[in-house]
Amino acid sequence: MKNIKNKKTNSQKVFVGLSGGVDSAVSAALLQKEGFEVTGVFIKAWTPEGYPCTWKEDRRSAMRVAAILDIPFITLDLEKEYKKEVVDYMIAEYKIGRTPNPDVMCNKEIKFGHFLKFALKNGADFVATGHYACKKVVSSKHLASSKNKKTNLEPWLLATNYWLLKEGADPNKDQSYFLWTLNQDQLKHVLFPIGHLQKSEVRKLAGKFGLPQETRKDSQGLCFLGKVDMKEFLSRYMPQKEGKVLNEKGEIIGFHNGALFFTIGERHGFTILQKTAQGSPVYVIAKDIKKNTITVAEKFRSTSDTPQKVILTDVNLSGEIPNKKIQCRVRYRQEKIACRISKENNQISVTFDKPQNGVAPGQSLVLYLPAGKAGDGETCLGGGIIK
């Protein structure tokens, strides 16, 4: 099989995070085609004992990409960092009844934390990943000309060259939700080579580049860990304790193995002894960690505890707080919610237009500014952790 030859010359160096999948493989090929000096990097993360060990197979797949493209290949061992900063964080959050997002933390601490630092230290100008997201530069000249115009986009940003994180072109694959922690220092060194493409186009390109990942199945589940039964995984670190399942009247209708293991909106993992008349599924609408109870209902709807306003911690925002109605998500691929963001008593708060179900402490709330023109993805303004 012939190696891909550069069509352009480019002195810039990029370290591509090769996971072994099709998205990162095509990312590396596209960058090489553009003339970048590409190095493939496989990140070795922690694997829990007793779970299928897939990292060796993934690494072999990544090495095949490097061999076909004829690029250097590095294995970066971040096992200790991943265990401490992603897994231990996740377990600690669940232990206090919160609902963390380990994929967000993986991007923040591992891919755009330790990996980015490693790359820059070793002479790279950029790191690249197979994320479905885009970035756009806004120049100071553009900002100056926008000050007196009505626009949905950039007037509120700082008056300097600025990087905006944008949604990926494929709405079914967009991963901007998981990237809200990226700041300006990181964004200027990050490339998303496939963000402008549809998933189907990426697979076709893999075939054109002669990459065997064209037909490889996408990985699913947690970042690096894959498809993991969360309750079974957490039960290794958190003792199970039988508790009561209550209906909205407070009546006992079943049991579970620990309120800590559930999140609002969940409808699996507990036992109902008193079935509904229609046999309809029931959803967790509330939980009491101290009493070790969960409350369920047939319809996932508003309760007296359903918030219309939340406080955010660990906030990361691109520029100043916009004084206008914007949108947000509290779950990946959730339909966007109309909201306003404000600062009160040194706290950042978000007020929804309507009370929202499924909002739990520990979740990532990610903010979006509507697109300024047709075909231009919405801007991810950043976000925070729900207090």
Q: Which of the following is catalytic: 106, 328, 339, 380? A: 106
Return the closest-CA partner of residue 233 out of 74, 78, 46.
46
Q: Is 134 among the residues known to form the active site?
A: no
Catalytic residue selected from 134, 223, 328, 380: 223
Specify the amino acid at residue 46. W
Q: CB-hemisphere CA count at 13 Å for 223?
A: 25
Residues in the chain: 387
Closest among 58, 51, 171, 189 to 111, alpha carbons compared: 189
Distance CA 374, CA 171 (A): 14
Residue 36 three-state SS: coil
Torsion of CA 343, 349, 355, 357, to 10 degrees: 160
Q: Judge whether 53 counts as a catalytic residue.
A: no
- Kindly report each contact of residues 52-59 with a partner whose C-beta sits within 8 Å and lies 24 or more positions away, as own/partner: 52/226, 54/226, 55/224, 57/20, 58/19, 58/20, 58/21, 59/20
Catalytic (active-site) positions = 106, 223
